[in-house]
Amino acid sequence: MSLATIKMVFGPIPNREYHEGFMRKAIEMAELALSSDETPVGCVFVHNGKIIGRGINGTNASLNVCVPSVSCPESMMVSLTHSQSLPAKSAEPLLIVFPPQKKGTRHAEFVALAEIMAKHPPSILRETDLYVTVEPCIMCASALRQYRIRAVYFGCLNDRFGGCGGVMTVHADPGLDPAYPVYGGLFREEAIMLLRKFYVQENNKAPDPKPKKNRELKTEILPVSTPQVNTPSVQTPTGEMANLALGKGGKEKRPKSPAKAG
């Protein structure tokens, strides 16, 4: 498949019912993140119709060195270093997931990748699909490309840090690693509402917590705008993660702290 054909797809997806089944699992992971006071982003990696890795955002927990807790289950605390030694000229990508001490980088995709790497060689990702509630950020999109992920399916756009067409096209820009197809919009409304629920609640872990008692949950969801995937330097005019809550008097407020979405 040529780079010219690798674009984000919003619309009809072949065999949609099959893909929705796995996206529902990703939504369940995002709900777990929300209940753990984390930005509600969840994902699953699927190989041959089976889930081989699960992840939730753990950026808040990683700010506290990710000690074992409900926010960061022990099953998701696999050491993010690959114990298998690779030949010097191996075609396998170096493990690029971040270690626990890298504060604020424990995105859902990296948590799931750690689980996968503990059981499988990196090459398995070439025949694996990712289902994630929010478009992967630039950092995660690059990691997925280096691992040569087969395809990515997501819920809503990440219009601040999106690396798969929301802001930049890391998944398809010319480079050494093969591009991968991206399909968006699966359970988009559910993914957006989870984010909104997070932003209207108090975040006591924030450096400078802002009182949110006057915020009301915004339920209206606007239609998605077509991402400008051919102009990665231009911000996509979409509002997936912006204007997440209404302030006092009904005035829309944009959160000052960006979503730490994978």
Contacts 24+ apart (CB under 8 A), 173-177: 173/232, 174/3, 175/145, 177/93, 177/145, 177/146, 177/148
Q: Say whether 196 sits in a helix, a strand or coil.
A: helix
Whose structure tokens read 């990515």? 152
φ, ψ of residue 209 to 5 degrees: the values are -55, 135
CA–CA dist 147, 137 (Å, integer): 15
179 pLDDT exceeds 70?
yes
CB 175 within 8 A of CB 142: no
Cβ count near 41 (within 10 Å) = 36
CA distance 209 to 225: 32
CB count, 10 Å around CB of 27?
A: 22
Q: Which domains does the chain have, with CATH numbers?
A: 3-253 (3.40.140.10)
pLDDT above 60 for 171:
yes
Asked if 52 contacts 126 with a C-beta cutoff of 8 angstroms, the reply is no
pLDDT over threshold 60, residue 11: yes
Q: Encode 172-198: b = buried (16+ Cβ within 10 Å), e = exposed.
A: bbeeeeebbbbbbbbbbebbbbbbbeb
Q: Global pTM?
A: 0.69
The sign of the torsion formed by the CA atoms of 146, 118, 34, 31 equals: positive
Greater confidence (101 vs 170) lies with 170
Residue 191 has pLDDT above 90, yes or no: yes
Q: What is the pLDDT of residue 185?
A: 92
Percent of the chain, pLDDT > 90? 45
Distance of alpha carbon 184 from alpha carbon 191, whole angstroms: 11
CB atoms closer than 10 angstroms to residue 104: 12
Residues catalogued as catalytic? 109
Indicate the average pLDDT of the chain: 72
Question: Which tops the pLDDT comparison, 198 or 227?
Answer: 198
- 150/169 Cα distance (integer angstroms): 16
pLDDT value at position 230? 33
